[in-house]
Structure 1
Amino acid sequence: MVIAGESLKFKLSEIAEIHAGIYRKPDLYGDIIYLQVKHFDNKGNIISDKISSKDLKLNKRLKKHLLQNDDIIFAAKGDKNFAFLYHHKLGPAVASSSFLVIRIMDSQKKRIKPEYLHWFLNHPFTQALIKMQAKGSALPVISKAVMENFEIPIPSLKIQMQIKKINELWKSEKSLMQKIISQKEKMYQMILYKQANGEQING
């Protein structure tokens, strides 16, 4: 633990348990979702139509690997690194071996919110620092040891919740702006196309 201003810095291993996902070949008929990198876009958002099928049959061995509510899975292999906050509403799921599963310790749940840790791991500055420690050129890999030793600044719970709220507002605003830009793009392209075809443009 390191004291830095109004935040305490902890190694990730001091606040969370980290273990690797599993490798399994899909079953013909399954009960649970087998989360893979292909199920996410570049920003770590679920592509819903890609997880419509359940790929693995639940058994005793797999049961211990089931994700728990508020687990964070971190894409540790390849160029697309992101953190995803799992919620049980998605359905029973296990993470593939492309991920590290990060589970906040019970003793630390009053210190850090999973939403804050999820946000911090996805922050561009954090991503850049983590990527610098990746090994391999053809398939860069971020090791469990790198993540265990990565320092996480932990402000007060009040500030964590403020960060969560502001981040959600910004995401909503950005989504709205993108929709407006998309509509304007369609409108202007239609106007220009009509003009190219000799139609009178009013205004």
Structure 2
Amino acid sequence: MKLKEITSISSGINERRNPQGTIYYLGASDFIADHTINPLIEPSLMPSSKLEKHFLIKDDIVVLAKGHNGFAAHAIKNVVKPMVASSVFMVLRNTVASVTPQYIAWYINLESTQKELRGYSRGTALPAINRTILGDLDIKIPSLIIQKNIVAIDDLKKQESYLTTQLDHLKTTQLELLLKNKIKA
């Protein structure tokens, strides 16, 4: 099934930042590990009535549309601050009930899907995809149960990777302390 058949696709917006702003302006660098929005992000847009229709809501998906590092997708789990996506993103919303937004993000983030999108991207200095390219992406849709299981397994894999990294860091620190104590002895 084509992505455009299961969700609406729009572009992020291009606005001028203002340090006195109260609206959060999501950029590509505002994500930290595991596709989480950095909690230290600062508001940088002034409120206006035209921004309100662009506010991100729970279950929106933002897809990076430009860049050398692929076209990462992030499902918005919850938004407690008024936030809009910058023009480096495309926003997917109003996903049909038979598909979870988290599954769509997972599917877009698959290496095989990323390779396909890179193949269709335009530009050599800065590869980019547009709404047509993203909308024409074929996406396999299993049952809701399977979608939720896939997302749960992927979340567990991410958690395992995080814990493995933390454990490695702790082992390195422990070894350094042990070896430093041997030098002092």
TM superposition score normalised by structure 2: 0.91
Tell me if 1:118 matches 2:105: yes
Compared CA separation, residues 71 and 151, structure 1 to 2 (3 A): same
1:79-120 Cα distance to aligned partner (Å, 9 max, x none): 132111123434111000000001134xx21x1011111111
Aligned to 1:7: none
Q: For 1:31, which of 13, 19, 22 is the aligned residue?
A: 22
Distance between the aligned counterparts of 1:146 and 1:42, measured in 2?
Answer: 27
> Which residue number corresponds to residue 88 of structure 2?
98
Q: Take 1:180 and 1:54, find their aligned partners in 2: how far apart are those partners?
A: 34
How far residue 73 of structure 1 moved from its aligned partner, in angstroms, is 0.4
Whole-Å Cα distance in 2 between the matches of residues 117 and 179 of structure 1? 29
Letter in 2 for 1:84: H
Between 147-156 and 119-128, report the one with greater CA deviation.
119-128
2:63·2:72 contact (CA, 8 Å) conserved in 1? yes
Percent identity, please.
33
Letter in 1 for 2:51: L
Find the partner of 1:54 among 40, 43, 46. Answer: 43
Separation in 2 of the partners of 1:42 and 1:166? 17
Unaligned runs of 5+ in 2: none
Q: Which amino acid aligns with 1:78?
A: G
Give the structure 2 partner of residue 66 of structure 1: 55
Matches within 5 A, 1:150-189: 150-189=137-176
Q: State the Cα distance separating 1:198 from its structure 2 match.
A: 5.6
1:145 and 2:132 are equivalent in the alignment? yes
Task: Tell which structure's C-alpha radius of gyration is larger.
Answer: 1
Task: Tell me if structure 1 keeps the 8 A contact 2:57–2:79.
Answer: no
| Counterpart contact for 1:67–1:94, Cα < 8 Å | yes
Deviates more, 1:156-165 or 1:78-87: 78-87
- Secondary structure, counterpart of 1:84 in structure 2: strand
- Distance in 2 separating the partners of 1:57 and 1:17: 26
Amino acid at match of 1:96: S
Q: Taking structure 1 as reference, are residues 41 and 34 closer, same or farther at Cα in structure 2, changes over 3 Å only?
A: same
Unaligned runs of 5+ residues in structure 1 are 1-9
Task: Tell me the SS of whatever aligns to 2:139.
Answer: strand
Q: How far off its partner does 1:133 sit?
A: 1.4
Give the CA deviation at 1:31: 2.3
Aligned 8 A contact 2:31 2:38 in 1: yes
Letter of the 1:83 counterpart = A
Question: Following the alignment from structure 2 to structure 1, what is the Cα–Cα distance between the partners of residues 35 and 77?
Answer: 14
